[in-house]
Chain A
Amino acid sequence: MFNVITALLIVMFTGLSLYGRVSILLLACVSVGMAVFLTYFNSHSHNEELSIDIMAQTSRLRDFHPVLKFWTLIALLFICVASKSVYTGIFLSIMMMTLSKFAGGLKLHNYIGVLIVPIRFLLIGGLALLLETSPEPMGIVNCNIFGIWLCVTPISQIKTALVISRAFGAVSCLCLLSTSTPMPDIIAVLRKAHCPEFIIDLMYLIYRYIFILTSLHHEMHNAAKSRLGFKDYRTSLRSTAMIYASLLGRSFQFAGKNFDAMESRCYDTGISFLQRDHQISPIQVFVCAVIMIVSAGLHFLPL
């Protein structure tokens, strides 16, 4: 169902933003092509937050120096957001997809599966930007709804293209980061950047507890299901409430035990782990520099 809506949104968005700029045939091909591409490659993904972790754990880019990777991608994100050209965003989106596919060894449908949520959001936002209301028809596409004209003007097309390409490029940078860097590595980079200790400690614990509580929730859900806890709407509501209440209780229990276990290993103030030094290879620095220079250079290309 979501896939159908996404596909329709893609067709609408691509069609409206390119209308009047390319021939109708090409327009139809591009819109339908984009919709088929994204929905086809999204058809296998599920349980995103946990599968991102597995992708990051198994990515070939995992061994890429985390500090270099993190700061390069953050810098690219800023370059993309600050860019005045749509090409920076397009270049970065394609670059990130290529890198995660060929350098990271990530399957394309997994990558799209992660991106599809922000894509849906961007499409809806993009449509809102694209359509302007006016008392009379003034665009290249006009539609009358209850006496008000919804118009797509060439200016709104350009504005939308810029905003969406910036946003999509930036999201792609973050997508590459999160599918190639396990959370502990990111936390370690933030610690090196002198992020406050208590935030770092919380991040470590939250990361660990997401998995413990998710699996606990899963078990409780199954246990409730096996006792007909979800047989109708009323029972489902009741079971869900009970599961979450007991999950809260269990998490307090877990926290208590965990604190005991930390104390038994001489925990005093601050959680610290061994950080081995990664070697930065010249190739890694070169790749990062090239991508940054190209992205910054594209800024000067006219739309």
Chain B
Amino acid sequence: MSEILRVENISYQYSHRYVALNNVSASFNAGEMVAILGSNGAGKSTFLLCCNGVLRPQSGEIYYQGQKISDSKKDIYTLRQAVGLVFQDPDSQIIAGTVESEVSFGPMNLRLSQEEVEKRVDQALVQMDIVRYRDYAPHYLSGGEKKRVSIADILAMQPELILLDEPTASLDPQNIDALEEILHGLRNEGITIVLSTHDANFAYRIAQRAIVFAQGEIIADASVDEVFSQTETLRRAGLKKPLLFEVYESMQKSSTALESEKKPRTIEEFKNFVGV
């Protein structure tokens, strides 16, 4: 798997607050689906803002496809285009008066031709299934629809990696299901997904790898199964084990025959697992 983004020893401190990121290193490879876990204020959002180039870390380096990102505008724009960031609250991201113009904002900033912008906007609207809202004003859309618009915003810039900050926050269960479908779809199209969340159940269902943040530091970076079996790590990060994971563990304790089975991550997998 080729590496897309690598951060090395980055630190960031907000002027008025504690250290938000302390000597953090991680790398993301093409086609991965990574969950960044941590409680509120653990440094997840700051980490994503640094990965996208909006915040410049006070120390440490960022590499995009092996190339070091310098302070030059060109490098930063390359990073921002290749690594898209979907903000937690769509209202703090959406600025235009119609959905179509909103989605066109990114491509227009890339100074693309009119035809290319039109093509990308159309494509992103189709991908997110919001073509019918093209001429709608964003303030008349529901939370789930706004979330789709905010993802379409980034898709239209055709990034290789998409960072999503707390994508499930303020979404209802139905919209969370729809979001999961969207994320799987994007992954099948070859886009790397990195999402931050404190919802362990969601992360367990969707991600293969998990990075755990606590007090601005990475305290674990491993496969999801491995991370959720580290009780001490989860306690430090203020996280809970996913429900199904815990159920599986309890069942495993009562029966040794379960060891070879694939752990169930969704309710459907669990039903198959117990033969219902």
A: which residues have CB within 8 A of B?
Answer: 53-54, 57, 62, 182-184, 187, 204-205, 207-208, 211-212, 215, 254, 257-258, 260-268, 271-274, 276
A183 x B91 contact (CB < 8 A): no
How many B residues touch the partner, as a band?
Answer: 35 or more
How far does the alpha carbon of A261 sit from the alpha carbon of B109 in the complex, in Å? 13
A207 x B97 contact (CB < 8 A): yes
B30-50: contact bitstring with A at CB < 8 Å (1 yes, 0 no)?
000000000000000000010
A204 x B109 contact (CB < 8 A): no
B97 x A187 contact (CB < 8 A): yes
B245: CB under 8 A from chain A? no
Contact pick for A212, options B53, B77, B91, CB 8 Å: B91
In the A-B complex, the 10 residue pairs with the closest CB atoms? A184-B97, A274-B104, A273-B101, A257-B92, A211-B139, A265-B106, A266-B109, A261-B93, A272-B108, A264-B85
- Min Cβ gap A289→B in Å is 28
With contacts A211-B139, A257-B87 known, is A182 near B98, CB below 8 A?
yes
B143-158: contact bitstring with A at CB < 8 Å (1 yes, 0 no)?
0000000000110010
Q: In the complex, which residue of chain A has the Cβ closest to the Cβ of B48?
A: A264
With contacts A204-B97, A264-B85 known, is A274 near B137, CB below 8 A?
no
B: which residues have CB within 8 A of A?
Answer: 49, 52-54, 77, 80-81, 84-85, 87, 89, 91-98, 100-102, 104-110, 114, 117-118, 121, 135-140, 153-154, 157
Residues from chain B with a CB closer than 8 A to the CB of A208 are: 94-97, 138-139
Residues from chain B with a CB closer than 8 A to the CB of A266 are: 77, 80-81, 106, 109-110, 157
Residues from chain A with a CB closer than 8 A to the CB of B94 are: 208
Residues from chain B with a CB closer than 8 A to the CB of A265 are: 80, 84, 105-106, 109, 153-154, 157
Q: In the complex, which residue of chain B has the Cβ closest to the Cβ of A210?
A: B139
- Min Cβ gap A192→B in Å is 14
- Min Cβ gap A32→B in Å is 40
Residues from chain B with a CB closer than 8 A to the CB of A263 are: 54, 80
Residues from chain B with a CB closer than 8 A to the CB of A271 are: 95, 105
Residues from chain B with a CB closer than 8 A to the CB of A184 are: 96-98, 101, 137
With contacts A257-B87, A264-B54, A266-B80 known, is A274 near B117, CB below 8 A?
yes
Contact pick for A264, options B52, B114, B140, CB 8 Å: B52
- Min Cβ gap A188→B in Å is 9
How far does the alpha carbon of A260 sit from the alpha carbon of B89 in the complex, in Å? 12
- Min Cβ gap A219→B in Å is 12
A204 x B52 contact (CB < 8 A): no
- Min Cβ gap B235→A in Å is 31
